[in-house]
Amino acid sequence: MNIWPLRFRELSNGSTLFADDAGGFFRSGQGFLSRYATDDLTAADVAFLREGNHGFDCEFDLSWTSFAYRWARRQSKPQNLSYAILVPTLRCNLTCGYCQVSRAPENSRGFDWSEETLAGVLAFLSGLDGPDVKIEFQGGEPLLRIDLLEAVRDYCRGRFSNTQFVVCTNLQALDARAWAFLDAEDTFISTSFDGDRTTHERQRTHSADATDAFFQNLEAAVSRYPAGKISALPTVDVAKPPDFHALLDNFERYGIRSVYLRPINYQGFARKLDQGDNVLVRWNRLHSEFIELLIARNYQTGQFMEEYYFVQCLKRVLRLDADNHVDIRNPNFFAADYVVIDHDGKFYPTDEARMLSRIGRVDLSIGDVAAGIDRAKVALLNSGASNHFDPDCIHCVYQPFCGTDVIDDISRYGRIDVARRDTWFCGRQLSIFDKVFEILYRQDKPTRASVAAWLGVNSWSADMAPVHS
């Protein structure tokens, strides 16, 4: 049998994790490692590798073919552009601490789409292939320009057979027209909720009245709409994290079981915030603690909640098709399936790229609605969009599961060729995948119950993750 190359990494418990290029993985020890390295495999080694499909006898045999299949399925495939993030206004009625630069005061002028920009946006949408389209309204506070939202939605409903709209709103001020807009079945709400009242007020609303308004509207929306209509994201300040217990209780109370924990975004005004030293290490520790808290809490309550990104990574390890999240997409081509259109009609490959460009450090716009998408610039960004040839990633056991984030690299280091292992992105990915494999191999009941629930199966036992002794 010819064995496909295996990469390896020592896990925290001293065992060694192995994985092939197609994401076939198993845990073993130093003994196997040295037999593998010295080409001295036993019959038992070979039988184990055969069952796990880590080798083949000849080209086009079943093992070879399914290895090729697994590898290919893990690559992100070209997709239709069917998703647009629209910023009809940059104005906002809040001043969140970490968002200063990507917003404009509520009463300022010149931060909304003009008539021509709206026409350009609709013309751009008309050129999409369909039949599905998803539109996310961002801001600023998009509901300040509900007329523009209505115009876009009306147009899309006429143009596409399947439409979905997400309004990213701070839920501060909702008048009858806003509620009527949100009432539609094809329209969803995404809001920010920083976990507990104190944190939310400190980071976002800054006054008891404004906080009350937010909670009143959130409660009203939760009671008015079916489960799944509202999602909420907490933004976490590593220096002052919210009370995670309270955060989970609150989210559960509002019927939101999936929590996407995000560190304060480095772009925008947040760059200037001092979060102290070693933010990465502290973030990783915080995130790991959050996972442990979830596991314990899930087991205790029997009501399963999840951390969104962690579960995406967990599925990415086990499944071939789990690359919904862009950070684990490989290659992660820009302006392929979605694009951002700013308040001035400029295209950006991601929302982070938009914010990064606003602070004037680098111009990551990729054309505008008048001139169309600048494919040459997209191609330049795409040159860094895969981890296949990265000198660090090619040695990393997590490469088949991992992705890239060029924009984050530019934002933090001003360049895309920093040694991968020195980047924030890699540090976070390594830590998350370490955690994923730790829990996949854990035997305790609470962990197994959460893993099963997160994977959507009835039972998970540690022997479902392969071990070679």
Partner 1 sequence: MIPLRIKVETNADRPYVVRLRSLEAEAWDSAPTLHPSEAALKHAGPDAADYAGEGGRLRVLGIDPSKVDGDVLLVNPSRGTADRLIRSSSQHNTFLVTERCDQVCLMCSQPPKKHHFDLFPYFETAALLAPEHATIGISGGEPTLFKTELFRFLQRVLEARPDISFHVLTNGQHFDEEDLNALSHIDLGRVVWGIPLYSSDAGVHDEIVGKEGAHAQLLRNLALMCRLGAQIELRTVLMRPNADGLPGLARVIGSTLPFIRTWAVMQMENIGFGRMNWKSLFFDSSEGFELVGRSIDFVRSRGIDAWLYNFPLCTVPPEYRHLAPATISDWKRAYRVECEGCSLKEACGGFFEWHPRDHGYSRLGAVQ
List residues binding ligand SF4 (CB under 6 A): 387, 390, 392-393, 396, 398-399, 402, 420, 426, 429-430
Rounded distance between C-alpha atoms, residue 187 and residue 135, angstroms: 9
Select from ligand SF4, partner 1, none the partner in contact with residue 140, using the beta carbon and a kind-dependent cut-off of 5 to 8 Å.
none
52 binds, among ligand SF4, partner 1, none (CB under 5 to 8 A by kind): partner 1
Distance (Å, rounded) from C-alpha 218 to C-alpha 210? 12
Q: Is 85 helix (H, G, I), strand (E, B) or coil?
A: strand
The entry of ligand SF4, partner 1, none near residue 392 (CB within 5 to 8 angstroms by kind) is ligand SF4
For residue 148, the minimal CB distance to ligand SF4 (Å) is: 39
- C-alpha span between 378 and 334 (Å, rounded): 6
CB–CB of 286/241 below 8 Å?
yes
With H, G, I as helix, E, B as strand and everything else as coil, classify residue 99.
Answer: coil
Q: Is 315 in the site for partner 1 (CB under 8 A)?
A: yes
Taking Cα atoms as reference points, which of 412, 420, 403, 275 lies closest to residue 356?
A: 412
Site string for partner 1, 2-41 (x = CB under 8 A): ----------------------x-----------------
Helix (H, G, I), strand (E, B) or coil at 165: strand
Select from ligand SF4, partner 1, none the partner in contact with residue 461, using the beta carbon and a kind-dependent cut-off of 5 to 8 Å: partner 1
- Is 146 or 396 the residue whose CB approaches ligand SF4 more closely? 396
Per DSSP, the three-state class of 32 is: helix
CB atoms near residue 133 (< 10 Å): 22
Site string for partner 1, 319-348 (x = CB under 8 A): xxxx--------------------------
CB of 172 or CB of 399, closer to ligand SF4: 399
Angle at 467 between CA 465 and CA 469, to 5 degrees: 170
Q: Among 365, 320, 325, which Cα is nearest to 342's?
A: 365
Out of 65, 79, 114, 469, which residue is the one contacting partner 1 (CB under 8 A)?
65
- Distance between CA 445 and CA 441 in Å, rounded? 12
Residue 62: name its binding partner from partner 1, ligand SF4, none (Cβ under 5 to 8 Å by kind): partner 1
443 binds partner 1 (CB under 8 A): no
Q: Which does 394 bind (CB under 5 to 8 A by kind): partner 1, ligand SF4, none?
A: none
- 287: Cβ contacts below 8 Å, ≥ 6 apart: 261, 307, 310, 431, 432, 435
Minimum CB distance to partner 1 smaller for 119 or for 322: 322
- Which residues sit at the interface with partner 1, rule CB under 8 A? 24, 51-53, 60-66, 69-70, 73, 315, 318-322, 452, 455-461, 464, 466
